[in-house]
Amino acid sequence: MIVKPLLVAALALLAVTASAQTALPTDPAADWSVATSEHRVPVEGGKVWVRVNGVIGEGETPVIFIHGGPGGTHVNFGSLLSLADTRPVILYDQLDSGMSDHPENAANWRPERFVAELEAIRKALGGVERWHVIGHSWGSALALEYAAAYPEHTASAVLSGTFLSTSHWITGTNLLIRDLPDDVAATIRACEGPTPPAANVCEPATAAFYAAYNGRPDRPAPTPVMLAYRQRYGGKGFNATLYNAMWGPTEFRASGSLAGYDVSGLLARVDGKRVMFVVGQYDEARLDTVQDFLALTPGAELAVVPGGSHAYITERPEVAEAIFRDWMARKDAQGREGK
């Protein structure tokens, strides 16, 4: 559900390496940083940075991708910009993340403000009457909240790497810890206890959890284009302060404002035929939990990415693109047919 501090630190290290060794791409056709338009949209608390590939009003129904966190950025959606061959693709950084304003005001860190942020973007872009909302991890909760609040503007909602309930998430991560090697699981439990061991003991165990469920060892290495994009458009990157305030110190313990968060009840309020859940085979968002959510959403679909973890979008980009492309094409066709 959450963008991982350890993972972000690793990406930051890769970006530094790229700046020293890799020139920015010179081929615009291969450069993620080439957007059709960029915007700074006023929202409660400041302005958020938005990029659009494609022209609003042309092609099929637009899609907006909603990143995880809280405190993450849009950058891992870069490989999905290929979807702009048929429809406008909209990426953005939530307030206090990445390229957007960083007022660092905790009064802004409320789920309802993040949902209102989405609607402000839709209105500011003009001509977006309906769009597909695809949220990953924390972003999937925002996608569901948006779909429930604005059904008239939601062509479909994809709940990817699904986080809808903190209690379900914590139960799931603790079951996943149990499946790790005994020594790793014991170390993680000790690190979550009242008197944790030193960081040099805890960090390798946490890294082992991520390698199993969020960034598999066989994932492809970042390409020069990916690294250069992160260098150019990473902004201030992941916001650990926001993450800690809303979630907590680790994936396994929620002590922030989302500790009692649960929007699974909204599944009964949305049109299930316009909802799809997507998880990786080895996702932190456990398949059995997501199947429970699926059962609460009559008519919804479920896609599982073989070999993928919570980071399946960067691990299996071709599969992710194919799933999203097929889903949106079918929903668009059904919309034209009035179904």
Q: Where are the alpha helices (DSSP H) in the chain?
A: 5-21, 111-125, 138-149, 166-179, 182-191, 199-213, 224-233, 240-246, 287-295, 312-315, 317-337
Task: Identify whether 322 is part of a domain.
Answer: yes
pLDDT digits (tens, 9 = 90+) for 37-61: 999 999 999 999 999 999 999 999 9
Three-state DSSP state, 276: strand
Which string of b and e fits 39-62 if b means at least 16 CB within 10 Å?
Answer: bebebebbbbbbbbbbebeeebbb
Task: Identify whether 185 is part of a domain.
Answer: yes
Tokens of 78: 């870069």
Give the separation between CA 13 and CA 300, rounded to whole angstroms. Answer: 40
Task: Identify whether 126 is part of a domain.
Answer: yes
Give the separation between CA 255 and CA 259, rounded to whole angstroms. Answer: 6
| Whole-number pLDDT of residue 225 | 84
DSSP 283-324: -SS-HHHHHHHHHTSTT-EEEEETT--TTHHHHSHHHHHHHH
39 annotated active-site: no
- Active-site residue identified among 101, 309, 310, 332: 310
Q: Which amino acid is at 76?
A: N
Task: Identify whether 296 is part of a domain.
Answer: yes
Task: Identify whether 5 is part of a domain.
Answer: no
Task: Identify whether 66 is part of a domain.
Answer: yes
Give the separation between CA 108 and CA 95, rounded to whole angstroms. Answer: 8
pLDDT digits (tens, 9 = 90+) for 164-182: 999 999 999 999 999 999 9
- Active-site residue identified among 93, 96, 283, 332: 283
| Whole-number pLDDT of residue 63 | 98
Give the separation between CA 217 and CA 220, rounded to whole angstroms. Answer: 9
DSSP 27-62: -GGG-TT--SEEEEEEETTEEEEEEEES-TTSSS--
* Residue 319 belongs to domain spanning: 35-165+178-221+262-337
Assessment of whether the complete model's pTM goes beyond 0.85: yes
Secondary structure letter of residue 144 according to DSSP: H
74 annotated active-site: no
Task: Identify whether 7 is part of a domain.
Answer: no
136 annotated active-site: no
Measured over the CA atoms of residue 103, residue 105, residue 106 and residue 112, the dihedral's sign is negative
Is there a contact between 120 and 95 (Cβ–Cβ < 8 Å)? no
CATH code, domain carrying 80: 3.40.50.1820
Is there a contact between 227 and 14 (Cβ–Cβ < 8 Å)? yes
- Active-site residue identified among 97, 137, 165, 264: 137
N residues, the chain: 339
Our count of domains for the chain comes to: 1
pLDDT digits (tens, 9 = 90+) for 208-258: 999 999 999 999 998 888 888 888 899 999 999 999 999 998 888 899 999
Tokens of 240: 């650990």
pLDDT digits (tens, 9 = 90+) for 266-285: 999 999 999 999 999 999 99
C-alpha count within 13 angstroms, C-beta hemisphere, residue 120: 21
| Whole-number pLDDT of residue 31 | 65
| Whole-number pLDDT of residue 339 | 64
Give the separation between CA 254 and CA 260, rounded to whole angstroms. Answer: 9
Give the separation between CA 159 and CA 297, rounded to whole angstroms. Answer: 12
Lowest mean per-residue pLDDT among 24-28, 63-67, 83-87, 88-92: 24-28
Task: Identify whether 77 is part of a domain.
Answer: yes
